[in-house]
Amino acid sequence: MLSDGKEVKYRAWKTRIQGKLTANRDHFHDEQAMVAYVFARTEGEAGDHIEPWMETGEVKSVKELFQRMDEIYDGPHRRTIAVQEFRKLQLKPSDDFHEFSTKYRRLATDAKYPKDLWVEDMNQKLTFQLQEKAVNLDVEAMDFNTYVIEVGRIATRMKHLDEERKKYRSQKEQKNGGRTSPNRDAKDGKPTNKTNEKREGRAQRPLPHHADLKCYNCNEMGHIGKFCPKKKDVVQNVDENDVLPVEPENE
């Protein structure tokens, strides 16, 4: 039933009604019977448009009825709107290709875009990933229907592989206790660096102590020069103006 032309699109409704009138032509005695049938398949706003014409009998044929309805629901602004939507149309990674191709066909038809350019134009509206996979197709030798079938197969395979990857990742995360990587900390999910942990452990390790050893650097007992805690201090205590003694060269 056609009401306001939004929930049930006017063109789709008109195509179905014309099909029924053609298939069941022997069921109608004359043109007025067919006009009455079309009127019966409307309601709301659409019925309000047709009712005055039915009361006055000014509509004599189905063709005339459709012409009047075309002016209301399929007016001159339809192409302008279609052109605007067609220019913005672009396949997104989350979109279904088959739904996209159906929308493309409808908008290209309404916008009166040349059919010999459909294949090339649609190819430019695909996602980069899908264009990359379809690069081996002989696009120039294909008609639009063949192109849609071939690209649809590629899109279906890509979707299947993507679902398999997501499934694999989900199973891997479950095995790792919900963590995305075994190298991540279980408490806060931050990545751990085992190399840094080892270095920090060595830095915090106490220096070795030997009571019977004497340091050649500070002359104190309990450690050797390699582990002398005053080693750095000795270097820092050397003044920049101090002149170190130089042994005379042998003549």
Gap between the Cα atoms of 93 and 98, Å rounded:
13
Q: Taking the CA atoms of 88, 92, 97 and 99 in sequence, report the sign of the dihedral they define.
A: negative
Across the chain, which has 251 residues, the per-10-residue mean pLDDT values are 76 90 90 92 88 87 89 75 90 92 90 92 94 88 93 92 87 73 51 54 53 77 77 51 50 45
Q: Using alpha carbons, select from 158, 180, 161 the residue that is nearest to residue 169.
A: 180
Domain ranges of the chain: 10-74, 79-165
The amino acid occupying position 187 is K
Q: What is the pLDDT of residue 186?
A: 46
- CB of 147 within 8 A of CB of 171? no
Cα→Cα distances 243→101, 127, 236, 240, 246, Å: 87, 74, 15, 8, 9
pLDDT of residue 82: 84
CA distances for 85 relative to 42, 44, 130, 201, angstroms: 28, 28, 22, 64
Question: What's residue 251's pLDDT?
Answer: 45
The three-class DSSP label of residue 231 is helix
